[in-house]
């Protein structure tokens, strides 16, 4: 199975009987089997993380220890354990397929041969493969008190990290994969994605910039994601705000459905608006939601609707609205807002203590309608 060569960096070469299966648009899938104890020698797990420049690396969540332990106990039993699902591995270009060279009766899209996989010395991230699906099973086999456990493996040659991320999302999209992880991976994914994920790719891209643009974004590292767990703003709240505005609000005009969206203009508008929010409501800024309803889902989403209303009211202005222009309009309704203390006195006569506002559709709509109504009244008073 393996050919040993201790020269240079390559210490071994796995040569495994495999099937090459042609799939859509020239993609090939390789199916083979090997001892699960040896999988860590050819593939590793690409952990999702950000470097010191906030660039995203990897795509896998941490091991679920309870799940790994359960699989390990099953494998170690004497009851003929069976793991029928294949491990999915994305290989880089160092892996190659050698055709068998003999005619075999069968469909034309299947070819027999040998998959050649280098075994490379050095850190784990130098391995030629990354596990796309099956990390818990691999970990269980690795730790199990057994001599060997053969597994089925399906593999493909990836066209870079973006391709790996896309395949990881597609493989796991029907399972209980954390939505936050999918949202964080979407901006760097490529290729065909299901329609629901394609719809979320643009707002996820905007969210990533809002959260990790250190030089321009007033929301830098304030949004809670798998790689930024200390943020106070829930990523779902920010995504809903962005999706609402992209659907029929201030960001809609920059979508450019016939070509690439004008994300630069979108981000400038968002940076300017949230920079103005920080100026006008400093006491409510960057605090836990229990201390500031501005950072709460109800506050984020309702303020997004107000951003759309201000953009609409200034529709005759040239170019993008500047920070000071947004701030001037926000000051008109500042006294009506009770993000950290006091009571909201809504137009329908309902009075709610500031921390009684909840992240429910009814409360969000109530706050949003109130803010927009007060803003329109201020516009009439000011005579704009």
Each residue of 52-82: pLDDT tens digit? 666 554 444 554 567 788 888 888 887 788 8
Nearest-CA neighbor of 242 among 251, 233, 234?
A: 251
Detail the DSSP E strand segments found in the chain: 2-4, 10-22, 28-35, 43-44, 49-50, 56-57, 87-91, 96-99, 110-120, 129-133, 150-157, 223-224, 233-234, 343-345, 351-353
- Residues 221, 227, 231, CA angle at the centre, nearest 5°? 35
| Distance from C-alpha of 28 to C-alpha of 221, rounded to nearest angstrom | 40
Contact 88, 5 (CB under 8 A): no
Q: What pLDDT, on a 0 to 100 scale, did the predictor assign at position 218?
A: 97
- Residue appearing with tokens 């060569």: 5
Please write the tens of the pLDDT for every residue from 137-172: 988 999 899 999 999 999 988 876 677 667 666 666
Please write the tens of the pLDDT for every residue from 10-34: 457 899 999 999 987 778 899 999 9
pTM of the model: 0.61
Structure-block tokens of residue 134? 């099956």
- Residues 275, 278, 283, CA angle at the centre, nearest 5°? 175
Phi/psi at 20 (nearest 5 deg)? -100, 120
Please write the tens of the pLDDT for every residue from 264-316: 999 999 999 999 999 999 999 999 999 999 999 999 999 999 999 999 888 75
Contact 132, 64 (CB under 8 A): no
Could you tell me how many residues make up the chain?
A: 384
3-7, 166-170, 243-247, 335-339: which has the minimum mean pLDDT?
3-7
> Most distant CA pair in the chain: distance in Å?
86
133-147, 183-197, 218-232, 331-345: which has the minimum mean pLDDT?
183-197
Q: b or e along 72-99 (b: 16 or more beta carbons within 10 Å of the residue's beta carbon)?
A: beebeeeeeeebeebbbbbbbeebebee
Long-range contacts of residues 344-347, Cβ cutoff 8 Å, at least 24 apart: 344/370, 346/370, 347/373
Please report the DSSP string for 84-125 in residue order. Answer: -SPEEEEE-TT-EEEE--S---S-TTEEEEEEEEEEE-S-GG
| Distance from C-alpha of 210 to C-alpha of 271, rounded to nearest angstrom | 7
- Three-state DSSP at 341 gives coil
| Distance from C-alpha of 248 to C-alpha of 238, rounded to nearest angstrom | 16
Q: Which helix (H) or strand (E) holds 316?
A: none
Give, rounded to a whole angstrom, the gap between the first and last alpha carbons of the chain. 79
Question: Is the pLDDT assigned to residue 191 strictly greater than 90?
Answer: no
In terms of DSSP bridges, do strands 129-133 and 10-22 run parallel, antiparallel, or are they unpaired? unpaired
HEC secondary structure over 48-98: CEECCCCCEECCECCCCHHHHHHHHHHHCCCCCCCCCCCEEEEECCCCEEE
Mean pLDDT of 79-94: 87
């Amino acid at each position: 199975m393996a050919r040993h060569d201790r020269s240079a960096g390559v210490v071994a070469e796995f040569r495994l009987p495999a099937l090459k299966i042609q799939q859509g648009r020239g993609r090939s899938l390789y199916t083979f089997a090997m001892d699960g104890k040896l999988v860590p020698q050819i593939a590793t797990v690409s952990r999702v993380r950000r470097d010191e420049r906030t660039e995203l690396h990897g795509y896998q969540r941490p091991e679920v220890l309870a799940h790994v332990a359960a699989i390990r106990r099953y494998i170690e039993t004497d009851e003929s354990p069976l793991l029928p699902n294949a491990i999915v591995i994305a290989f880089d270009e160092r892996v190659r397929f050698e055709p068998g060279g003999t005619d075999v009766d069968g469909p034309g899209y299947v070819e027999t041969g040998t998959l050649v996989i280098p075994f490379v010395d050095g850190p784990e991230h130098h391995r030629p493969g990354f596990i796309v699906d099956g990390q818990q099973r691999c970990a269980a086999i690795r730790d199990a008190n057994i001599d060997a456990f053969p597994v089925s493996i399906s593999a493909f040659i990836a066209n870079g990290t973006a391709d790996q991320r896309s395949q990881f999302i597609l493989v796991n999209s029907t399972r209980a994969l954390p939505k936050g992880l999918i949202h964080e991976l979407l901006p760097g994914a490529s290729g065909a994605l299901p329609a629901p994920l394609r719809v979320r790719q643009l707002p996820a891209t905007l969210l990533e910039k809002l959260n990790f643009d250190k030089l321009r974004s007033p929301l830098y590292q304030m949004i809670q994601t798998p790689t930024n767990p200390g943020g106070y703003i829930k990523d779902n709240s920010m995504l809903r705000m962005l999706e609402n505005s992209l659907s029929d609000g201030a960001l809609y005009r920059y979508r450019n459905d016939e070509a690439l969206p004008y994300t630069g203009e979108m981000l400038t508008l968002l940076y300017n608006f949230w920079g103005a929010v920080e100026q006008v409501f400093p006491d409510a800024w960057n605090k836990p939601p229990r201390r500031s309803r501005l950072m709460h889902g109800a506050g984020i989403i309702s303020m997004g609707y107000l951003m759309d209303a201000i953009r609409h009211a200034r529709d005759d202005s040239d170019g993008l609205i500047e920070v000071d222009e947004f701030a001037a309009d926000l000051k008109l309704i500042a006294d009506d807002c009770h993000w950290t203390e006091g009571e909201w006195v809504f137009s329908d006569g309902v009075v709610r203590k500031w921390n009684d506002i909840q992240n429910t559709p009814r409360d969000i709509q109530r706050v949003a309608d109130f803010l927009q109504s007060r803003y329109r009244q201020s516009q009439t008073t000011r005579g704009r």
